[in-house]
């Protein structure tokens, strides 16, 4: 699995230094950030040039406001900024650029659903279509949209990684609110889906990949009851899963929570034999992280 993933990533790197969602596709910041983090775990000189080209691709594309766009084609800052900040912070080069990215993250927040929703939440929550605290602000996928679990988890992980350098009342407040939002959006019985635990009175089920990503963002509270409940829920959700993406995130999560992941790694390799992970760059990169000591990447 490890050699396969390394070979894939080296072969799939575009001439411009970035990676696309699949080999041959336009380079994007998400795939490039994960590929960079994955190749960093290799630790020998054979990948050094590839890492340097990836770092160049990323650092040349930072917007003036500190954000990163998804691709060259899309100029506005995107949710992938958190992933680039995380990767630059972990690599330990370009710290100033990582800090500018972190400051941009602090300037972003999910859309306010309005005072009426706030009032209803307090006085008549049963009248709301979704059961969530509308006053908590996390991060959206795209500007002017609502806060959702995954972009909030990415932003939290990146900000916590840079915490010693971004210490400010604002940063601490955003981290605290982001954590509260994640706990507020948790599904009954533990775990997370995209960000709605109840719609029109019906409980919605959690997703394994989103649960693992949220637990990674909250791993500095790993003894909390909600974390432990969600950890159990994640194991239960994985029963029939055949997906490199989900298994990779789950392995990284379990490793951060101190669990033995050898059996999960074997299962991930068997899944690769069946699906080839659909040739998705980010999955190959995450699988490489999950096959080595990639959990460190997310450790805060």
Partner 1 sequence: MVDRRRFLKNSLAASLFPLIKGCYQSTPWERAAYRKSNHSRVAILPAASYDTPLKNVVLDGIKLFGLRVHGKTVVLKPNLVEYDPAGVINTHPAVISAAIEAFRSLGAREVLVAEGPGHRRDTEYLLTSSGLHAMLKDHQARYVDLSYDDVQLLQLQSRFTNLRQLYFPETVLKADLLVSMPKVKTHHWAGVTLSMKNMFGIVPSAIYGWPKNILHWAGIHESILDINATLPIPQFALVDGIVGMEGNGPIQGDAKPCGVLIFGDDFAAVDATAARLMTIDPMQITYLAKAGEFLGNVTQDRILHIGESLEQFRQDFRVIDSLRHLKTLSA
Q: Which chain residues interact with partner 1 by CB under 8 A?
A: 21-22, 25-26, 28, 30, 70, 73-74, 78-79, 111, 140-142, 144-146, 148, 150-151, 193-194, 199-200, 202, 204, 207-210, 240-246, 274-275, 277-278, 280, 283
Nearer to partner 1, 265 or 271 (CB): 271
Distance CA 191, CA 46 (A): 39
CB-CB contact of 77 with 65 (8 Å): yes
Distance CA 183, CA 48 (A): 40
Min dist. Cβ of residue 148 to partner 1 (A): 7
Min dist. Cβ of residue 171 to partner 1 (A): 24
Nearer to partner 1, 240 or 260 (CB): 240
CA separation, residue 253 to residues 20, 124, 270, 273, 293 (Å): 25, 37, 19, 23, 12
Min dist. Cβ of residue 92 to partner 1 (A): 28
Burial of 201 (0-12, 13-18, 19+ CB in 10 A): exposed
Residues of 211-237 as b/e, b for ≥16 C-beta within 10 angstroms? bbbbbbbbbeeeeeebbebbbebbeeb
3 state DSSP class of 270: helix
Nearer to partner 1, 50 or 78 (CB): 78
Nearer to partner 1, 200 or 263 (CB): 200
CB-CB contact of 27 with 74 (8 Å): no
Nearer to partner 1, 196 or 228 (CB): 196
Min dist. Cβ of residue 91 to partner 1 (A): 23
Distance CA 223, CA 67 (A): 33
Distance CA 218, CA 156 (A): 8
Nearer to partner 1, 199 or 224 (CB): 199
Min dist. Cβ of residue 174 to partner 1 (A): 19
Nearer to partner 1, 171 or 182 (CB): 182
Min dist. Cβ of residue 149 to partner 1 (A): 10
Q: In 47-94, which residue ranges form alpha helices assigned H by DSSP?
A: 48-59, 81-91
Nearer to partner 1, 40 or 185 (CB): 185
Distance CA 110, CA 56 (A): 30
């Amino acid at each position: 699995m490890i050699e396969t993933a390394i070979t894939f990533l080296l072969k799939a790197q575009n001439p411009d230094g970035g990676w696309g969602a699949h080999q041959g596709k336009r380079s994007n910041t998400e795939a490039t950030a994960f590929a960079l983090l994955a190749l960093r775990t290799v630790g020998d000189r054979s990948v050094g040039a590839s890492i340097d080209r990836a770092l160049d691709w990323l650092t040349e594309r930072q917007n003036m406001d500190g954000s990163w766009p998804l691709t060259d084609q899309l100029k506005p800052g995107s949710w992938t900024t958190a992933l680039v900040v995380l990767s630059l912070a972990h690599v330990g080069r370009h710290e100033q650029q990582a800090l500018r990215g972190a400051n941009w993250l602090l300037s972003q927040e999910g859309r306010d659903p309005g005072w009426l929703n706030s009032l209803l939440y307090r006085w008549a929550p049963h009248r709301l279509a979704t059961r969530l605290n509308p006053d908590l602000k996390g991060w959206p996928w795209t500007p002017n949209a609502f806060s959702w679990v995954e972009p909030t988890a990415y932003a939290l992980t990146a900000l916590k990684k840079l915490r010693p350098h971004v210490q400010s009342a604002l940063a601490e407040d955003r981290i605290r609110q982001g954590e509260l939002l994640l706990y507020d959006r948790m599904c009954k019985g533990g775990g997370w889906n995209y960000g709605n635990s109840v719609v029109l009175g019906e409980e919605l089920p959690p997703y394994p990949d989103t649960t693992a990503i949220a637990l990674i963002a909250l791993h500095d509270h790993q003894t909390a009851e909600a974390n432990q409940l969600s950890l159990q829920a994640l194991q239960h959700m994985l029963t029939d899963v055949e997906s490199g993406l989900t298994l990779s995130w789950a392995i990284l999560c379990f490793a951060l929570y101190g669990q033995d992941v050898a059996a999960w790694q074997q299962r991930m390799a068997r899944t690769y034999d069946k699906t080839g992970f659909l040739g998705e760059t980010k999955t190959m990169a995450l699988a490489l992280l999950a096959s080595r000591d990639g959990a460190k990447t997310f450790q805060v």
